[in-house]
Structure 1
């Protein structure tokens, strides 16, 4: 990943944890991260909110208090929370992966299985400026899903078993039974497009859901959003195509369409979008690129 780089000395960090991430992996990763940081002489403000609102409030107070970095322990949902706090500020965000998808960690080659190794990477102090996407003041780092992919996210978030990528695979198979194509109205940098599709995805980065590379080719520092349209497929064809999402080779399918824009407005009836694995909001939505909005410790 290209982009503006610098190094930052870490003397004091806020460590914000989702202890329930990854069925308890968050709590274990927190302990490992704290041990690594303490051995390195870094002062740690240990933050655990009772809910999302309290966690964000604690993080904002720590950043306002002048910590050198906000480090989140958890999955892409915790990155999402952290981005709301530090986007547009000089405070960098660090990630210790401990969630289900961990796509932001994939973007920057952080270990997704060894919390201590991921924390040691943060101690190098290397900061890279990357883009975010933003809609009505709310940021996301990975992909906004608005269709079949959002329905899969919704189902997966209500499943307690299994862990990891297999949860998304099973949710996909379950959603196949009932999902029907949707009618969309898109505004792509001022050009209107009406299309019937299974999904419309808006990527800041190339993947979501644990490595599903739906917006293959998306760059984190090009100042653009990657809008991917998957037009109607039969259930059998979707099952055949699904494995290609992990390698990004679905881009040659005739029902695939890709646009790069600075802004997109998406309209469709009855769709609740997801971004970073979190409920983002009902359509219609306007999403804009936010160039170099996040300083990422990686």
Structure 2
């Protein structure tokens, strides 16, 4: 019998016992064995559990939680033959929304994982120079988008308590704190192109272009094209009007406040160390960040 592992973020579920029974019944209805069951913790947010599941030789790993949980589980599955089922629950769920998967409907999402098609999609490799030594000393994986600058400050200010009270609008509340801010001197290096030096609010590189609330920051983003969609933002004060207008109209015309591009790799050097986020989680502070597309590195079960 085939067997799946379910990696659950318990903070997203009210009744774990009932959920486990429900998902086990779905699996057994498809002729699968009772699943391996893992719960995440603050110290082990999903990657370790997924690696343990792989060691047991499971046929499918289901990640139940928000974008952060899915990202951590997926990092263990890169470049393996084991597919990922996304059981999306939480506030943002941008990855699941981009792939048009069920949200907060765990049994339906698991059915997609059991009956769907294996689809290779890209991942984002994010490397940090955290010491200012011109060497990248840590690497992280993203599925939605990563960023350096004020967008990471917004993520840091968006606490779980705020999200539980306000839902996705918690990000807007945190963003209001960044309406007025100091710009960050940056140097943006794309192989084969002239180096761009500019004062910025943030640089974002994405695999999925959707934001909370359904807005599309990167309307041309595709999860399996081997490219990152990049946005360079120079906001603050009245400049935000131009930025908001570009996002709402999905304009492809560049300006000093808002520039879009598609690349397979870029490196952002900042004048002072800045926070870096990936898929809504702050992963550290860095003097430089390299974003690179890993084409087809992850297999996801998607609807037929």
1:19 corresponds to: 10
> What's the TM-score, normalizing by structure 1?
0.85
Q: Do the aligned partners of residues 240 and 288 (structure 1) sit closer, same or farther apart at CA in structure 2, a change above 3 Å counting?
A: closer
Residues 26-83 of structure 1: per-residue CA shift (max 9 Å, x gap): 9476554344223333221111133342743222011122101111000100111012
2:292 corresponds to: 288
Question: Following the alignment from structure 2 to structure 1, what is the Cα–Cα distance between the partners of residues 19 and 89?
Answer: 7
Question: Following the alignment from structure 1 to structure 2, what is the Cα–Cα distance between the partners of residues 200 and 215?
Answer: 12
Question: Following the alignment from structure 1 to structure 2, what is the Cα–Cα distance between the partners of residues 145 and 210?
Answer: 19
Q: Do the aligned partners of residues 26 and 256 (structure 1) sit closer, same or farther apart at CA in structure 2, a change above 3 Å counting?
A: farther
Residues 208-235 of structure 1: per-residue CA shift (max 9 Å, x gap): 4464422221111111111111223425
1:221 corresponds to: 224
1:39 correspondence with 2:29: yes
Compute the displacement of 1:130 (Å). Answer: 0.5
Q: Secondary structure at the match of 2:102?
A: coil
Conserved 8 A contact 1:201-1:227: yes
In angstroms, what is the RMSD of aligned CA positions? 2.5
Q: Do the aligned partners of residues 94 and 251 (structure 1) sit closer, same or farther apart at CA in structure 2, a change above 3 Å counting?
A: same
Q: Which runs of 5+ in 1 are unaligned?
A: 1-9
> What's the TM-score, normalizing by structure 2?
0.84
Q: Secondary structure at the match of 1:232?
A: coil
Q: Which runs of 5+ in 2 are unaligned?
A: 128-138
The structure 2 residue matched to 1:278, chosen from 276, 281, 289, is: 281
Q: Do the aligned partners of residues 241 and 287 (structure 1) sit closer, same or farther apart at CA in structure 2, a change above 3 Å counting?
A: closer
The structure 2 residue matched to 1:187, chosen from 178, 186, 189, is: 189
Conserved 8 A contact 1:17-1:30: no
Question: Following the alignment from structure 1 to structure 2, what is the Cα–Cα distance between the partners of residues 118 and 276?
Answer: 20
- How many residue pairs were aligned? 284
1:131 corresponds to: 122
Compute the displacement of 1:248 (Å). Answer: 6.2
1:65 corresponds to: 56
Compute the displacement of 1:125 (Å). Answer: 3.4
Question: Following the alignment from structure 1 to structure 2, what is the Cα–Cα distance between the partners of residues 239 and 170?
Answer: 17
